[in-house]
Structure 1
Amino acid sequence: MDDVDQVFDYNAPAQDTHKLLRSFLSPPLDSNLQKSVHEFLGPDATPTPIQSLALEHLLTPRDKGYRQVLLASETGSGKSLAYLLPVLQHLKRTELAEPRHPRAGLVSPRALVLAPTHELARQLAYFAKQLVHHAKLRVQTASRPNVSSLDNRRRVSASKMSDAFEEAVEGEFEVRPGASGPRFDVDVLVGTPSRLLEMSRGHGWRLAGDKEVERERGRPWRVGRPEMDLHDVEWVVIDEADVLLNRDFVDDTRALLADAATARGYVVPAEGVLDYPFHMLLTSATIPLTQTAAFAARHPRLKRLVSPGVHRLPKTLKVEFAQYGSGSKMQDVERRLRELWEDDALAGRPPSRVVVFTNARTAAHALGAFLEEKKIPVVTVAGWGDNDRAHGSNKHLAGFIGAAPSPTQDEGDATTPRVLVSTAVLARGLDFTPDVSTVFLYDAPRTAADFLHRAGRTARGGREGRVVVFERGEGRGTGNAAVVRQSIAALANRRQVVRR
């Protein structure tokens, strides 16, 4: 793991939240949203620090024009609600004032929410739908499986496209006939950058002009008809911005932002300041120094709302180290699981749910198969297609994350999976249930950010949690274990400067 002082921007001062709103009932939050919040979170729910900051600065904007804001807060602090409430309130208040220009047969969202995985996109859509129960806005997901039955490789009429969409998503999209033909009225569309790009540019757009593909097919590649129009986009939310603006995701994220800006008449410069013609919100559990430099160059007026707990481990999280020698690490995992469940039984508790993170997909599948052989029911999610991941819902994560269907088996049934094995694919943003009290790190995280996100799947919202780090106790690799311990200790003790 890396030196946290060389990775995270601790010079970005956190805001003092002591004088901010302490209740969702306080104006200026609309009454319908207030009602939904308390139905969703409970009648005694109060805003977390990052939610108070968002309500203070985003519901009552102090500057004119389109806004660029970063919400930075520790995992489990409620960032999703922090940005959803201001976005939904603005959409509701302006739904009749803002003219819309949808094209026939196309999805025409007013807000895009970008997430790194389909699982997170579905969960965010679920959260948003709970909040608009009384406000009556339309929230949909753009998960790839939702449109798997729609043949985008050939051009179809608007009416046929409407029928295909309705059949594909089982009524998720509400089709409303407009003056220019069938179209899809959607206020908020949630999805991964790659899926949203495919909707705006057409299925297979990446293969257009690829000579090798055309040579194999024996004919030119034909891009599918676009499914989405971006003229009406007023908000773009980049959830988990430290992921979506880094490495594998940044090109698609920037391309989608450029497409939305172009659709609204803005010429995106190759260099210099970016002033998008829509509100842009970014959320993150970390502020990498590399992104700070990029923000300074491209988004100099970006406002940063930073929680005092960012870049730190929660006080309710306990970190343990489990040493293994030359024997099987998988056997050590099995042993620790059984010890944990024995403790639960002695205390009269149901067996805890445990999430195990590996660095490699092969390790995840090998560990999952090993535990199954030992009669421990397990769910393995390490990439596309695992455990029905491609079927367009979060059913494969039932019992582990919020907004997923509960297991059909009895909670005490020995066949009910109590272990989820995954790579980093499920380490970002997902809100795991309180039943997930323990996280096993089968492999040492490669970076401090990886550790923060994986550890952050437990001890959420002030609850207690535990992370068990498996490290080599003898032989090669013990030096790396010492570095990991030092980095974790720094995360536990390093504090963000608070602006008073």
Structure 2
Amino acid sequence: MQRALSEVSYGRRSAVKQSIAETDRFEDFDLLSVVQSSIAPQALNGLIDVSPTPIQRLAIPALLGTEDKKRRRRGPAPEKSGMEQFLLAAETGSGKTLAYLLPVIDAIKRAEAADMEREAAETEKKKAEQRQNLFELTSPPLSNEPHPTTGRPRAIILLPTAELVSQVGTLAKSLSHTVKFRSAMISASFSGTVIRSRLFSPNGIDVLISTPHLLSSITEQDPNVLSRVTHMVVDEADSLFDRSFAPITGAILDRATPSLQQLILCSATIPRSLDSYLRKRFPDMRRLATPNLHAIPRRVQLGVVDVEKDPYKGNRNLACADTIWNIGKEASEDGGLESAKRMIVFVNEREKTLELAEYLRSKGIDATALNRDVDERKQAEVLASFTGAALPNKTDKQAKRAEADVMDRSQTGNASASLSGPPKRQLQNVKVLVMTDLGSRGIDTLLVRHVILYDVPHTSIDFIHRLGRVGRMGRRGRGVVLVGKGDRRDIVREVREGMFKGQALI
């Protein structure tokens, strides 16, 4: 448990805290005016007087190359020798997506301006040549030629799941309304026809958001997709460089390296395995870590329920159901719109999601099981009701039908027979999602105020990611961990003490 994370010294944390204290406005960043004007209305949903988060204060100047406080001259960014490499490491819900997205879009617009200048110069040169050769005929351009950037994006953002592709893609799409660039998200949630039409749109493409497996299969057939990429973002790097993803992610990077100007890795934790991998493969990578990395925000409270005591007497399922009922009744009594009406229950084993969801339903709780056996399209549809995200090309009725379908799928063959009619009481206006760590990484669960840790997490990394589903964007949250026979009570005690003191988990 305690050796899962790479340690960051408190001396280094204090130095970073001091260096970012001077920046308190987005206007302090040397972004193009059109990018600046998109932040408040599009990225921040019209919020007023919002200050950049620590990771944004740290990362944006570094990615722009303006840490020396000198503003760049107007026009395209200067050409850099070699590929710049960055690791952005910050706590969950800290705004990492915007921290890399704004500089990437800024670079795209500057490159676009440079291309237009070159094209204008070439056009003028051709006109001058034509004036000198009045009798030489030139063939007109074909009207049906595709855009030169069709299927060749300038930037690629890699994410481990279809839900995260949708989340980041939605933010990029909102920024494009003001900045005017072309973005596309592709994942297993979309049909092959939709994927092809988005990637190979005749209007061209600037930013592609995809999962590694899908992009790898596409580039196997058409390597030119990576021929023009200048910026590569690997989000949730601790997942995309683990044993299951690393070969595919590494192969994509190898193919894109010749044209890459910036490689940006992003993660909420730096496991020791990732630390070792990066030191071997990217020894020159610059690490930008916030002062609160590996710390669970103090605005998140962690309660403990002893499963061995009365009235549970070792029945963990009963303890979980009772905890949900208690929280649900509190929310009903509060009666406010901001009260917690959605909860996530995390378990360690995939098979347990089905069993526990069935048990909770028998106790009058609206519970849905979600695990990796459910296809990605269904996962995205169910998670959307917990993230507040809009489903692509789905109406509300379709979304509800999809969620009901997943619930039906999660029941085993004789599940319905085990319930003799509807339960005597129902917990009103509360929805519960039972899942493994499938949804604990990166997903912006703003609608969730409570998480229940049915099992004690295996590592401090899992503690950080699971409790990171609440307390996002400055909101308060609450976690409850069920502790029973054989669980490491000392570890739970250390985590609670560390949270109370605001210390990092290592």
TM-score between the two structures when normalised by the length of structure 2:
0.76
Q: Which residue of 2 aligns with 1:467?
A: 479
Residue identity opposite 2:30 in structure 1: P
Bigger Cα Rg:
2
Q: Which residue of 2 aligns with 1:296?
A: 279
Q: Which residue of 2 aligns with 1:421?
A: 434
SS at match of 1:86: helix
Residue 191 of structure 1 is aligned with which of 191, 210, 214? 210
Q: Which residue of 1 aligns with 2:185?
A: 141
Deviation, structure 1 residue 494: 6.7
RMSD: 3.1
Structure 1 residues 337 and 496, CA gap change in structure 2 (3 angstroms)? closer
Structure 1 residues 396 and 457, CA gap change in structure 2 (3 angstroms)? same
Where in structure 2 are the equivalents of 1:336-347 lying within 5 Å? 336-347=323-334
Q: Which residue of 2 aligns with 1:381?
A: 370
8 Å CA contact 1:8, 1:311 repeated in 2: no
Where in structure 2 are the equivalents of 1:263-412 lying within 5 Å? 264=259, 277-325=260-308, 326-349=313-336, 350-385=339-374, 389-390=376-377, 394-405=380-391
Residue identity opposite 1:32 in structure 2: V
Write the deviation string for residues 44-65 of structure 1: whole angstroms up to 9, x where unpaired. 2220011111222222346943
Distance in 2 (CA, whole Å) between partners of 1:172 and 1:416 is 38
Deviation, structure 1 residue 195: 1.4
SS at match of 1:120: helix
Deviation, structure 1 residue 117: 1.2
Residue identity opposite 1:312 in structure 2: A
Q: Which residue of 2 aligns with 1:214?
A: none
SS at match of 1:186: coil
Distance in 2 (CA, whole Å) between partners of 1:138 and 1:95 is 12
- Which stretch has the larger CA shift, 81-90 or 23-32? 23-32
Instruction: Give the helix-richer structure, 1 or 2.
Output: 2
Write the deviation string for residues 153-205 of structure 1: whole angstroms up to 9, x where unpaired. xxxxxxxxxxxx3xx359755721xxxxxxx7221111221111111114xxx
Distance in 1 (CA, whole Å) between partners of 2:333 and 2:54 is 37
SS at match of 2:284: coil
Deviation, structure 1 residue 481: 2.8
8 Å CA contact 2:368, 2:434 repeated in 1: yes
Deviation, structure 1 residue 227: 8.2
8 Å CA contact 1:312, 1:494 repeated in 2: yes
SS at match of 2:489: helix
The number of equivalent residue pairs is: 423
Gaps of 5+ in 2: 68-77, 120-145, 401-425
Residue 11 of structure 1 is aligned with which of 9, 12, 17? 9
Distance in 1 (CA, whole Å) between partners of 2:175 and 2:429 is 31
Gaps of 5+ in 1: 151-164, 177-183, 203-225, 265-276
Q: Is 1:97 matched with 2:141?
A: no
Deviation, structure 1 residue 447: 0.9
Deviation, structure 1 residue 305: 1.2
Deviation, structure 1 residue 327: 4.3
Write the deviation string for residues 251-301 of structure 1: whole angstroms up to 9, x where unpaired. 111111112226x4xxxxxxxxxxxx4310011111223333333332222
Q: Which residue of 2 aligns with 1:34?
A: 36
- Which stretch has the larger CA shift, 454-463 or 10-19? 10-19
- Which stretch has the larger CA shift, 76-85 or 361-370? 361-370
8 Å CA contact 1:384, 1:390 repeated in 2: no
Write the deviation string for residues 63-102 of structure 1: whole angstroms up to 9, x where unpaired. 94331011111111110110000001101111253599x9
Q: Which residue of 2 aligns with 1:159?
A: none
Q: Which residue of 2 aligns with 1:430?
A: 443
Taking only the aligned residue pairs, the percentage that are identical comes to 32
Residue identity opposite 1:352 in structure 2: K
Residue identity opposite 2:161 in structure 1: T
Residue identity opposite 1:458 in structure 2: V
Write the deviation string for residues 310-366 of structure 1: whole angstroms up to 9, x where unpaired. 011101010111121354322221111111121122222355211111111111121
Q: Which residue of 2 aligns with 1:448?
A: 460
Residue identity opposite 2:209 in structure 1: V
8 Å CA contact 1:28, 1:60 repeated in 2: no
Q: Which residue of 1 aligns with 2:75?
A: none
- Which stretch has the larger CA shift, 28-37 or 41-50? 28-37
Q: Which residue of 1 aligns with 2:414?
A: none
SS at match of 1:185: coil
SS at match of 2:26: coil
Residue 484 of structure 1 is aligned with which of 485, 488, 492? 492
Residue identity opposite 2:242 in structure 1: N
- Which stretch has the larger CA shift, 21-30 or 351-360? 21-30
8 Å CA contact 1:440, 1:469 repeated in 2: yes
Q: Which residue of 1 aligns with 2:422?
A: none
SS at match of 1:379: strand
Distance in 2 (CA, whole Å) between partners of 1:97 and 1:418 is 51
SS at match of 1:437: strand
Structure 1 residues 440 and 32, CA gap change in structure 2 (3 angstroms)? same
Structure 1 residues 415 and 383, CA gap change in structure 2 (3 angstroms)? farther
Structure 1 residues 390 and 323, CA gap change in structure 2 (3 angstroms)? same
Structure 1 residues 489 and 255, CA gap change in structure 2 (3 angstroms)? farther
Structure 1 residues 104 and 416, CA gap change in structure 2 (3 angstroms)? farther
Distance in 1 (CA, whole Å) between partners of 2:389 and 2:327 is 26
